[in-house]
Amino acid sequence: MRTYLDWNATTPLRPEVKEAIIEALELSGNPSSVHAEGRAAKMALERAREQIAAALGAEGADLVFTSGTTEAASMVLGQGGYLCAPTEHSAIKVWCDPVLPVDRDGIVTVTDPARTSLQLANNETGVMQDLPQGLHSSDLTQAFGKVPFAFNWLGLTAGFVSAHKLGGPKGIGALVLRKGTEIPALIRGGGQEQGRRAGTENLIGILAFAAAAAAAQRDLEAGVWDQVAQRRDALEARLCDIAPEAVIAGKAARRLPNTTCLLTSGWKGETQVMQMDLAGFAISAGSACSSGKVRASGALQAMGFDDQLSQSAIRISISPTLGDDQINRFADAWEKAYSRWRDRTGPAIRPSTEEG
């Protein structure tokens, strides 16, 4: 039986989402049509928009449905002229100048908030940022559904989210804009999504997104992620007991409750991923969008870790559905693989994490 420990890459569909998809299949109308079927579809779409906005704390903001965070970011940042840190996801870095300084704990120094895009939580390390007032935009993808926040309190012009990070389907997300913010349309044609994104709306995906957002909000209110954080901390203690030389990236910072980025110098991250996969556990060597590329993590290098440490990184991102027994079985499997590696390489030497 396999165990999924790659929640930051994507999440399985929630039961509530599967039900919402089945119900949405019965809506035959186009939301732009004026007949009864079209009006029913439009009502469902706008109700979903309100539910997602409420979960984001974005009541009164403009919420534009997109295919996901990558598209949402391109709609806002594609004109260029923005700054970011090298720890940002590639969907942000491709449009921005990644020059902002990052300290050892993964905390970014922002010098010009109005021209800066800064993620609320990092996908590789889980490190969370204190967003400065007046910040232009933020990738909220990893934080949404895992930690409480409200878009309306963050002082942002724009935020980006994807449904598949919180138990929704892939291929649907949203751009959240401060009310009245004008942006040029990336996809032109019809007047859908307040004229900001042409094309018939993905109604099935949108209704599923709303179901995922509502369920995620209930989990937050129930304190589910506090329990996840306790399991994450116990796992980290166990792994560091097994490998005293191992480093937890961003451990001193505030992090997402489910994320561990473990560095074991000299033991390639992709090798560990394959070994754990064969043992029945899904983990990652970095963000899913770049995990096929064998190279050191730019985010970890920006934090001051050398190439050898950065290339050893694995990301373990657990979920509320995992129990202690599953996490312990993973630790057992990792310990066996670590012991075999140490038998070949000799005793551990604690690596330096100094820059340069």
Instruction: For residue 242, give both structure tokens.
Output: 């097994």
State the pLDDT confidence band at 190, using cuts at 50, 70 and 90: confident
Residue 295 has pLDDT above 80, yes or no: no
Separation CA 276–CA 18 (nearest Å):
29
pLDDT at 196: 87
Across-strand partners of 121? 128
d(CA 243, CA 8): 24
Q: Give me the chain's average pLDDT, please.
A: 94
For residue 17, give Cα distances in angstroms to 160, 205, 293.
21, 9, 32
pLDDT at residue 195 in the model: 81
Is pLDDT at 122 greater than 80 in this prediction? yes
Which of 167-181, 236-250, 293-307 is predicted least confidently? 293-307
Residue 259 CA to residue 283 CA, distance in Å, equals: 11
As annotated, the residues of the chain forming the CATH 3.90.1150.10 domain(s) are 3-7+223-345
For residue 290, the model assigns a pLDDT of 52
Q: Which of 263-267, 335-339, 350-354 has the lowest mean pLDDT?
A: 350-354
Q: pLDDT tens-digit profile of 99-115? A: 999 999 999 999 999 99
Average pLDDT on 304-309 reads: 94
Helix (H) or strand (E) holding 241: helix 224-242
CATH T-level topology, domain 3-7+223-345: Aspartate Aminotransferase, domain 1 (3.90.1150)
Helices and strands (H, E) in the chain, number of each type: 11, 11
- pLDDT at 293 exceeding the cut of 70: no
Cβ 109 vs Cβ 100: under 8 Å: yes
Element (H, E) at 326: helix 324-345
Q: What is the pLDDT of residue 355?
A: 43
Instruction: Tell me how crowded residue 256 is: count the other CB atoms within 10 A of its CB.
Output: 26
Residue 198: pLDDT band (50, 70, 90) is: confident
- Give whole-number Cα distances, 222 to 107, 217, 226, 323, in Å: 29, 9, 9, 17
Do the Cβ atoms of 333 and 276 come closer than 8 Å?
Answer: yes
Residue 96 appears among annotated catalytic residues? no
Residue 255 phi, psi (nearest 5): -130, 165
- Report whether pLDDT(11) > 80: yes
* Phi and psi at residue 63, to the nearest 5°: -115, 120
Determine the average pLDDT of the residues in 144-173.
Answer: 98
Residue 233 CB contacts under 8 Å (≥ 6 apart), including other chains = none
When pLDDT is averaged across residues 77-82 and rounded to a whole number, the result is 94
| CA–CA dist 48, 287 (Å, integer) | 29
pLDDT in tens, 275-286: 999 999 999 996
User: Which residue is associated with the tokens 């939301």?
Assistant: 31
SS3 147: coil
In the chain, the percentage of residues whose pLDDT exceeds 70 is 95
CB atoms within 10 A of CB 267: 21
E runs forming strands in the chain: 3-4, 62-66, 82-84, 96-98, 137-139, 158-162, 173-177, 247-248, 259-263, 281-282, 314-317
Instruction: Please report the pLDDT score of residue 356 as a whole number.
Output: 36
- Rounded Cα distance, 107 and 121, in Å: 10
**Structure-block tokens of residue 269:** 């991250």
Q: Is pLDDT larger for residue 225 or for residue 353?
A: 225
Specify the domain boundaries for CATH 3.40.640.10 within the chain: 15-221
Q: How far apart are CA 230 and CA 87, in angstroms?
A: 26
Q: Does domain 15-221 have CATH number 3.90.1150.200?
A: no
Position 3 pLDDT exceeds 70? yes
* Percent of the chain at pLDDT exceeding 90: 87
Q: What is the pTM of this model?
A: 0.93
Give the helix ranges, DSSP H, for 9-144: 15-24, 36-56, 69-77, 90-93
